[in-house]
Each structure stands twice: as C-alpha cells, then as structure tokens.
Structure 1
Amino acid sequence: MTGPVVVGLDGSPASVTAAWWAAREAADRHLPVVLLHSWTTQPLDVPIRQEAHTKQRYGRDILQRTAAELLHRHGDLTLTTELVSAPAAQALLEHGTSASVLVLGSRGYGSVASFLLGSSSLHVLGLTPCPAVAVRADDPAVETGWDHPAAANRDEVVVGVEDPATAAEPLLEFAFTSAATHGARLRAVRAVPLASLVAGPDEDIEAEERTRLADALAPWREKFPDVPVTKHVATGPAAQVLLTASARGRLLVVGRRRHPSLLTWKLGPVAHAALHHVSCPVAVVPHD
C-alpha cells in the first residue's frame, strides 16, 4: 500500500482520536496523512452559527490545530489538510479510490448509526474500495498524545476468517501487514457454527476447521515469518467468538463483500456487531 491514510475530521473527540490513530499508522508505515474536513457536514452539537464563512473558519481551525498536534508528536510525518464543501461521505469515497485506508471516528458504544459522520459513515464503510477503519473515542488501544499512550495489553491484531477457502486473502494481507508493522501478534479467528455440530462431534469439526485455517495462513506465515500467529477456533456465533477473541486486540479486521454498484452496499451482521461492540479499532476490508 502506497496511498495516503485519509481521516475524516470534524473536531469531535471521536474524530480527533481517529486522527491520532491515523497518524501513528501512517508514521509506522511511512505513508502520508490527509486530514479532511467537510465544512458542510459538521456535528449537530457544534456551537457555531450557520453562516458559511463561520463554518469554514471553524473547519480551518480544527484542521490546523489537529495537524500541529500530530506533527509535534510525529515530526517526520508528511501531512496535508483538505477543507471541502462536498458532503463528507462523498469526499471520503472519492479518496477511497487511491487511499491505503480511510479512517472514521465513532462516538462510542451504541448504535452503529452514531458514527461521527452519521448514517453516511455506513455508506463509506460499505462502499469504499479500500479498507476503512472505525476508531472509538477514548479507545484504550489508541495513543492520543504524550500523556495518553495505548494500553500495554493491547498487543494483538485479530482477524476474523469467515471462509478460509475464498475470502481470506485480502483480510489476511491487511492483518499480517498491520501485525508486522507494529510488531504485534496475529490472532486468526474462525467461528464454527453450532449447526455444523450436526455433522459430527465438536472436537472433530473444530480440528477440521483448524486444519483449513492453518492452510489459509501458511503462505502468509511464509511471507511474514517474524509475525507470531495464534490460531483461534471456537464453536458459537461468529460475532460472539470475535468479541471474546478481541480482548487483547489493538485492531480487529473483518471483511465485507464488494458490490458492483455505488447504489448498493451492505455490511454483514458480523461487521455490524464488531462495530457495535468491540472495544478496539475495527478495520472493514472489502473482498470479492
């Protein structure tokens, strides 16, 4: 990946946390950062008048202040800012064609519709051709300044592998790259549906799935020999298995299918559950 890390910034605590995550990710991967603010898409709780010039001034101030803080922490970071009039979701999706990753903030636990850009964030997560990462406000896995380092026990990149045979490659590439970049352990998670137990004993089904998962991981372990890997196979609903497996997560990677039309988008139930419940950044990676 050589494109920039693009983060939507609206000045809320959630978006600032997302910007700190984006800056650290870009610095570690030696990628540029783009801070993007849509002055026509601002939080409803921002206490400013409705005049266009006031909104633009607010946007410039947010961009300049956040850029200064990030550059103070990461002195060699290549960073640019963009103040745009297009709706935030539209501007982010346009960047998604060339970005390495888009970064969105989340206000915290609750409905997925509470993302900082409102329901339009679901369109970004469901449509962008590049990976998109949702970061919660006050996320313990995210460094947010000199006095707020990431929690020391957040030391794993967790990836949910829905189907090791077909859809795993884009997710594993993103997850292994992230783990290698940050010197983290990778935990590959495969949930065995309860319905599968009808075909045989629990131990036999889990052993078979562990073998399939190991086969999918093999080429990536060869490509990233320094990344320690844990295979995590458990029986139960995929969302619950992922939630349990993410206890030490610094990042959770889940997938979604690509769609042929910009008018059609869908996040599956596992991605929805992860975005709703998991207490670390969640990367949604498109795959065929």
Structure 2
Amino acid sequence: MGGSVVVGLDGTGNSVPAVHWGAEEAVARGLPLHLLHSWISQPLSLAIAQEAADEKRFGAEVLAKAEAMARESHPGVSVTAEQVSEEAVDALVERSRQAALMVLGSRGHGAIAGFLLGSVSLHVLGRAECPVVTVREEAVAYGKPEVVVGVQEAGTKGEAVLDFAFAAAAAHHATVRAVRAWEPAAFGDFAPTVSPAGETELAADEEKKLNDILAPWRAEFPGVKVVEQVQRGRVAPVLLGSCAQASLLVVGRRMHRTPMLLGPVVFAVLHHSACPVAVVPRV
C-alpha cells in the first residue's frame, strides 16, 4: 500500500493516543508516519493559556514531542513532521488525497458529540479521500485481535470498506468479524409480523448474501480468519454490540453527502464505540 499514515495534531492530550495508534499502524503496514499541525488552528483554550506566546513555536514543540513519542514507542518507524499555515481541515483534506490513512484523536465518551459537531474532525471525516481513524484517549491499539466491519452494501459500494478491514486484519494478524444487520422490510409505517419459520428463512438468505459478498476477500486474504455474524436489528446497535471488545470498527460513508457530512450510523458509532473507528469513503 502506498502513501503514509498521517496523524493530525491539535496540541491537546487528544493527540497522544492518535500518535501511538498511528505509529503502530505505520510499523504494521510498513508505511512512513507523517505528523501534521496547523499553527493557525490551535484550540482557543491553548491560545488563551499561552497568552502572547508564539503560536508557531508552540506548534513546533507539539510536533517535536509527538515525533519523540513515536520514535520512543516504535524505534523503527520513519517519521516526518510538518507545520502548516493553512486551516487544519483544508490541510488534512489535501493530505488525504495521497495518504494511505489518517488518524485523529478524540475526547472520551462524554464529550465526543460536542467535539465532532462543527469541529475539524467532523469536516475531515466527511471530506477526506482516504480512511480516517478516530482514537479515544482511553483506547489501546489492538488490545484484542479482532477487526469488526459492517457489511451492508453489495457490489462496488462496499469494496473499499472490506479492503481496509481485511488489510488491517492481515497487518495485525487479527480476525475479521463481518457483521450484517437485517430487518424485515417495512410497509409504510408498519413493520411486518414474521413467523419463526419466515424469520429463519430471511436470516438464511442474509447469511448467503454475506457469504457471497465476502468470497473475494477470503480468496485474496487466505491467512485472515473470518467470523460471519448475521443479526436481526438496526445497523448501529448491532455494530456497537459486536465491537465492545474489538481492536477496530470499520464503517463506510457516502462520498459527497449533503447537507450532513456523515450519516446517522457513522455518528452513532463515533459517539458510542469503545474502540477506534475507521470511517472509509465509499466510491
């Protein structure tokens, strides 16, 4: 895989787990690590705390500390650092065109909704052209070797999502848990009543669909163990229940989505997932 692992730094504690996670990913995939900080997009609280301090000097310190941290935790990693005068969103979206993936830090569960809405992360997640991983402060990279991926789209729409999930699992010798949620088709405002026999038949049909979708990736990644999970229910709750102990959750997003940059499933898993979340743009 070409490109680099780009980590966006804002100078707060949220950046620390992103640096560790990005360095781990770079080493596992054999990619360089690129650290990026925008000195004109530093958090307001930092600017107040710094008072008259030079923002560029502060940015240089942020990058130097992050680079030292990455080299100390992963001595073999190739690291470059860049401080830009562009707005953080514009710089990160531009770098996403050549990156293999991007990593951003996020706050804990209580604050992530406020952190994302109207923030740099929201706009980067919605506009980036490469997969973007958000890592919480309390996250531990690949604590349990399982990558959970949501599989709802057949055909080319789901290819990028599965490509990313299987590549991540292969790089970390992890299992792929492929999750497909389903519900009986509703008629207007009414959900149909399904007999036990009918539900068994519908579930079997969904299992076949999932098996068929996964067949090309099983062939391409024969060393990756795959667990198939078909479960009745809404997509977000099913995914969240499946990734409680996982190392990574992988979901897809539509390209050029308007007016909301991210859909409700992506918002839900970003808000509630206990593990890092990879948001992959679907072509």
TM-score by structure 2 length?
0.91
Q: Is the 8 A contact 2:20 2:73 kept in 1?
A: no
Q: Is the 8 A contact 2:116 2:122 kept in 1?
A: no
2:205 corresponds in structure 1 to 208
How many residues are matched? 275
Identity level (%)? 47
- Cα separation, partners in 2 of 1:90 and 1:265, compared to 1, 3 Å: farther
2:77 corresponds in structure 1 to 77
In structure 2, the gaps of 5 or more residues are: none
- Cα separation, partners in 2 of 1:258 and 1:108, compared to 1, 3 Å: same
TM-score by structure 1 length?
0.89
1:49 corresponds in structure 2 to 50
Q: Secondary structure at the match of 1:13?
A: coil
Equivalent-residue separation in structure 1 for 2:151 and 2:13 (angstroms) = 32
Equivalent-residue separation in structure 1 for 2:117 and 2:87 (angstroms) = 10
Equivalent-residue separation in structure 2 for 1:257 and 1:112 (angstroms) = 21
Alignment of 1:131-280 (within 5 A): 131-139=131-139, 141-142=140-141, 151=143, 154-195=144-185, 198=192, 201-259=198-256, 266-280=261-275
Opposite residue 279 of structure 1, the aligned amino acid is: A
Shift of 1:195: 3.8
Equivalent-residue separation in structure 2 for 1:195 and 1:215 (angstroms) = 21
- Give the stretch that moved more between structures: 161-170 or 80-89: 161-170
Equivalent-residue separation in structure 2 for 1:198 and 1:115 (angstroms) = 39
Aligned Cα root-mean-square deviation (Å): 2.1
Question: Per-residue displacement from partner, 1:149-195 (whole Å, max 9, x unpaired)?
Answer: x63xx221000012234522111100000000000010000000254
In structure 1, the gaps of 5 or more residues are: 143-149
Opposite residue 192 of structure 2, the aligned amino acid is: V
Q: Is the 8 A contact 1:170 1:286 kept in 2?
A: yes
Shift of 1:111: 5.5
Opposite residue 105 of structure 1, the aligned amino acid is: G
Q: Secondary structure at the match of 1:215?
A: helix
Question: Per-residue displacement from partner, 1:248-278 (whole Å, max 9, x unpaired)?
Answer: 2101000011128xx8662111111010000
- Cα separation, partners in 2 of 1:244 and 1:175, compared to 1, 3 Å: same
Moved beyond 4 Å, runs of 4+: none
- Cα separation, partners in 2 of 1:172 and 1:199, compared to 1, 3 Å: farther
1:146 corresponds in structure 2 to none
- Cα separation, partners in 2 of 1:75 and 1:111, compared to 1, 3 Å: closer
Q: Is the 8 A contact 1:100 1:130 kept in 2?
A: yes
